[in-house]
Amino acid sequence: MTQHPAFELLREQEIPSLNVCYQEYRHRVTGAQHIHLAADNKENVFLVALRTVPMDSTGVAHILEHTALCGSEKYPVRDPFFMMIRRSLNTFMNAFTSSDWTAYPFASQNKKDFNNLLDVYLDSVFFARLDPLDFAQEGHRLEFADAADSSSELTYKGVVFNEMKGAMSSINSTLWQTMSKHLYPTSTYHYNSGGEPADIPDLTYDQFKAFYKTHYHPSNAIFVTFGDIDAAEHQATFETNALSRFEKLDCHIAVTDEQRYTTPQYFEETYAADDQAPLDDHTHIVVSWLLGDSTNLEATMQARLLASVLLDNSGSPLLKALETTDLGTSPSPMCGLEDSQKELCFACGIEGSNPEQADAVEKLILDVLQDVADNGLPLEQVAASLHQLELSQREVSGGGYPYGLNLILTSLTSATHRGDPVDLLNLDPVLEKLQQQIQDPQFIRSLAKDLLINNQHRIRLVMKPDHQLANTRDQAEKNQLAAIQVKLNDSEKQAIVDNAAALKERQEMEENLDILPKVGIEDVPADIAYAERHSVDSTPLPLTSYSAGTNGLAYQQIIMPMPALTQQQMDLLPLYSTCVTEMGVGDRDYQATQLWHSSVVGAYSASASVRSDKDRLDQLHGNISFSAKGLARNQSAMSDLMHESMQNNRFNELSRLRELVSQIRTHRESSIVGNGHVLAMTAAASGLSANAYLNQRWGGMSGLAQIKALDQSLESQAGLESLAAQLEEIHQLVLQQPRQYLLVAEEHRLDGFKQSINNTFGADQQVAALPTNLIDYQPNLQSVNHCWTANTQVSFCAKAYATVPSSHADSAALTVLGGVLRNGYLHRTIREQGGAYGGGASQDNQSGAFRFFSYRDPRIEGTLSDFDNSIKWLMDKPLGDDSIEEAILGVIGGMDKPASPAGEAMQAFHGELNGRSKASISEFRNRVLAVTDADLKRVATEYLRPEVAQTAVITNSDLAAKTGLDIIAV
């Protein structure tokens, strides 16, 4: 192994549990840190992080994160970041503003593409142009309601300004920021790094530039890479493209130590509630503690263990108390340990309470902690929590982030605060030490006393709903703008008009994008990565196995076709799927069952899935799956757990059932603002196909209305008993279905694991092959033109059009069309000009719907018009080959994005179960690659006709009244 001469190697360490080699380097001149995680993985990941420590809530770090990507010295185009998304085969591209760092990550499986992106990212971060017009677009600006008329009303605009209006409409975000403000009275965490909407307009361009000059310097930078490209190769690019132009900056940027409270502190504040929402039983009460330094690995792991012991599952003492108390409806979303900041924070509490219950809630929490401190907990319970920590360390996770990026973000916390990054990656030594420490009955008792009971840096926060707060804030903003407008002289008014015109001209100008690097169709791999089955056994059980690099874990599923269900039973299926693994089993109550799960598996869950047939939208495939994952050494116990849980599950713990419904309702209500664009698209498409209709009833706004109504019906004993009986009836129908089994593990373990599964399940009634999983579901579809009201300062808009299933000849062109409309028109009009955080369009082949959307949008009518105008733009404008190729690359990049090894195996299995083979995926992919301008115009003309559009908007009640749509209050 060699490094570039500009860097010195500080150390190298193998981490067997992660299959990576940790290498740490320092740039000799600037002191920039480079951490390389060498791995046999072709999905290479890059991230550069800057320590950003704002001491106000103007959002300077957040606005800078946006604006740095709006053009640089080498690439002086308006928006190289979004342009490169279109010219790339990336598997991930983004930028993050955390509470104490800003990071720019990307990932790609194509080396040419990786180097292209690296070139653009380095120039964007270290040589950003920071044009004042970009600051105005992304941050904030004054503009007249009629941009050219200085007598019209003055307004604030800006992407981050509107994004944070949306973010701070979320009670969870408001709760976290308010808690942080009081728990951290003197450090950067006291402030909202994303920006408070009321404070964002206070940020000046000069302050913004000064922050960039000190914070965006290599001396304050951490480079982290992952994958099979050698560290020296990365370093040569860093040096040539950026670092060689800098000297060391004598500026030490760091989070200051927090000044500690000597006695517990008590705070009461309010959050904005929709004027239709009740005030009673909607208060949040949270108790939180400031703990030790997150760079101390042993202390951090001890805090993680204590948090897990207290809150891991419904059998854990603190979570049990919070779930079962009648002081609130459910545990607070703040419950848990926050270990990504310089000093750890532990919080717990409840939501759905009332202010006068604050003392009782605090006493409940402290009593539980005192009991743990006095009496400890059974070793079995502590060992189960430690087992969960070990499993989370070993799992090769997938999900929204590439595996390498997950590892990078894990190490970043310590690197940011100049700790030891390898410690947070290589947990095996401290896990082994904890295994020894928990044998001492005093260990958990001491942790509870030292970290919580005797810790005086504690706060209690009571957050009450307020119907007037949103109007008060809106009026304050209007008054501020009116006061500014009154003081403007004619030249100042003209300057605002001129700036608006200059920004519009900049947004609409044609630019030479040839200066940006790109990949093309010729760089697309000819074949796709696809998990091939290891074996398919029909005797004695129908068992399919896959070999995958799971790092010592095993994944198992039991899959059954969905039974014939009534409409009421279909509506209850998501609730059944949640409750069936959260109740008691046999002689165990639900708390003992949860402890059992925690000691054996990492997760045990059930899910109901419905997929449209690839050839016909009126035919649906339905499956019920029970899934478990665990350490390989526990595979036999995992099989036993799955078998006993399915056969002996019971729904007669009525109080538990009541708690679960209440928790689901609360979670669904609080997630509207964060997921509003998806909910709006789901609602708009719900009248177009059976699959789309079911999505709306299960996971959309209709589903939320149903769970609220159900929750209210459970206030009576009769309602609870009826629900329990219905869930039991569904369960018995599920148990009668034929089963097949799925196993994913490392190859050398498969034979033994298959024998174990056969031993456990072989006596159950089976059939050699699974019959059809087609279901009879034919809802009464109706046209949708709805406006749903929610507690939000911004809006989410959607339009949907009926289209075709995935195997249809037009599905590929419709899929590419979404990218063309987003890239060529919608991004500019909805985000850059309209000020929304995002907007776009996509074909949903499952629902047979083409859907437009906007996210955290200050407009409604203008955005809905932009959806229509994008279609006119397409028909009037000859599309160049480049714009079509860019959209095709976006589709292919999404299709080829890797999951975790186990995830890819499960995707392949379930795809084939629902009629989608590798051949059908490849055939669709080839059709995507062949899409032409004529295809795009033809499908737009045929399917996107104004008279058949269906519309859904989610907004607040005041704006809803102005839409002209049918208003629905959840």
Residue 343 clears pLDDT 60, i.e. is over it: yes
Question: pLDDT category, 770, cuts 50, 70, 90?
Answer: low
Q: Look at residue 371 in the predicted model and tell me its pLDDT.
A: 97
Residue 350 clears pLDDT 80, i.e. is over it: yes
Q: Look at residue 628 in the predicted model and tell me its pLDDT.
A: 97
pLDDT average, residue stretch 86-94 = 92
**In 686-783, where does DSSP find H-type helix?**
690-699, 701-713, 717-735, 750-761
Note the pLDDT tens digit of each residue in 110-141: 999 999 999 999 999 999 999 999 999 999 99
Single out the residue of 234, 551, 405 nearest to residue 898, CA to CA.
Answer: 405
d(CA 333, CA 358): 17
Please state the three-class secondary structure of 801-828 as a single string: EECCCCCCCCHHHHHHHHHHHHHHHHHH
Q: Look at residue 768 in the predicted model and tell me its pLDDT.
A: 47
CB within 8 Å of 732: residues ≥ 6 apart = none
**In 278-316, where does DSSP find H-type helix?**
297-311
Single out the residue of 64, 180, 182 nearest to residue 131, CA to CA.
Answer: 64
The token pair at 580 is 């069936």
- Looking at domain 265-395+422-466, its CATH superfamily turns out to be Metalloenzyme, LuxS/M16 peptidase-like (3.30.830.10)
Note the pLDDT tens digit of each residue in 848-881: 999 999 999 999 999 999 999 999 999 998 888 8
Q: What is the CA radius of gyration of the chain?
A: 28
Q: How far is CA 594 from the centre of its chain?
A: 26
The DSSP bridge pattern shows strands 553-561 and 620-631 to be antiparallel
Backbone angles phi, psi at 11, to 5 degrees: -170, 165
d(CA 110, CA 88): 9
Are the CB atoms for 423 and 414 separated by under 8 Å?
yes
d(CA 617, CA 802): 11
What is the share, in percent, of the chain residues with pLDDT greater than 90? Answer: 79
Give the CATH architecture of domain 540-682+690-775. 2-Layer Sandwich (3.30)
d(CA 22, CA 15): 7
Note the pLDDT tens digit of each residue in 359-384: 999 999 999 999 999 999 999 999 99
What's the pTM? 0.91
785-969 carries CATH number 1.10.1370.40: no
Note the pLDDT tens digit of each residue in 255-281: 999 999 999 999 999 999 877 777 888
Encode burial over 131-148: b for 16+ CB neighbours within 10 A, e otherwise: bbbbbbbbbbbbbbeebe
Are the CB atoms for 963 and 798 separated by under 8 Å?
no
286: buried, middle or exposed (CB in 10 Å: 19+, 13-18, 0-12)?
buried
Element (H, E) at 919: helix 918-929
Question: pLDDT category, 28, cuts 50, 70, 90?
Answer: very high
Note the pLDDT tens digit of each residue in 829-838: 999 999 999 9
d(CA 909, CA 888): 26
Which of the 8 DSSP states describes residue 419?
Answer: S
Give the neighbor-by-neighbor strand order of the sheet with 796-802. 838-844, 849-855, 796-802, 950-955, 785-789, 966-969
- Domains of the chain, by residue range, sit at 265-395+422-466, 540-682+690-775, 785-969
d(CA 404, CA 229): 13
Are the CB atoms for 676 and 792 separated by under 8 Å?
yes
Are the CB atoms for 254 and 418 separated by under 8 Å?
yes
d(CA 948, CA 941): 12
What angle, rounded to 10 degrees, do the helices at 379-394 and 297-311 form?
120
Q: Look at residue 766 in the predicted model and tell me its pLDDT.
A: 57
CB within 8 Å of 472: residues ≥ 6 apart = none
Lowest-pLDDT range of 98-112, 479-493, 878-892: 878-892
What single-letter amino acid sits at 501?
A
Q: Look at residue 479 in the predicted model and tell me its pLDDT.
A: 95
Q: Is 265-395+422-466's fold the same as 540-682+690-775's?
A: yes
Are the CB atoms for 287 and 458 separated by under 8 Å?
yes
The token pair at 871 is 């279609």
Task: Name the average pLDDT for the chain.
Answer: 93
pLDDT average, residue stretch 61-66 = 96
Are the CB atoms for 44 and 225 separated by under 8 Å?
yes
Note the pLDDT tens digit of each residue in 732-764: 999 999 999 999 999 999 999 999 999 999 877
Q: Look at residue 399 in the predicted model and tell me its pLDDT.
A: 58
The token pair at 24 is 């740490």
d(CA 894, CA 808): 20
What single-letter amino acid sits at 99?
S
d(CA 668, CA 661): 11
Backbone angles phi, psi at 850, to 5 degrees: -100, 125
What is the share, in percent, of the chain residues with pLDDT greater than 70? Answer: 99
Backbone angles phi, psi at 774, to 5 degrees: -70, 140
Q: How far is CA 287 from the centre of its chain?
A: 26
Note the pLDDT tens digit of each residue in 301-328: 999 999 999 999 998 999 999 999 999 9
d(CA 533, CA 515): 45
**In 312-402, where does DSSP find H-type helix?**
317-324, 358-375, 379-394
Note the pLDDT tens digit of each residue in 213-241: 999 999 999 999 999 999 999 999 999 99
What angle, rounded to 10 degrees, do the helices at 933-943 and 861-876 form?
130
Task: Evaluate the CA torsion angle 228, 231, 232, 235 in order and state its sign.
Answer: positive
- Lookup result for tokens 């994958």: 227
- Conformational region of residue 349, where left means phi above 0, alpha means psi within -120 to 50, and beta covers everything else: left
d(CA 153, CA 664): 43
Q: Look at residue 494 in the predicted model and tell me its pLDDT.
A: 95
Are the CB atoms for 75 and 137 separated by under 8 Å?
no
pLDDT average, residue stretch 427-456 = 94
What angle, rounded to 10 degrees, do the helices at 358-375 and 317-324 form?
150
pLDDT average, residue stretch 701-726 = 93
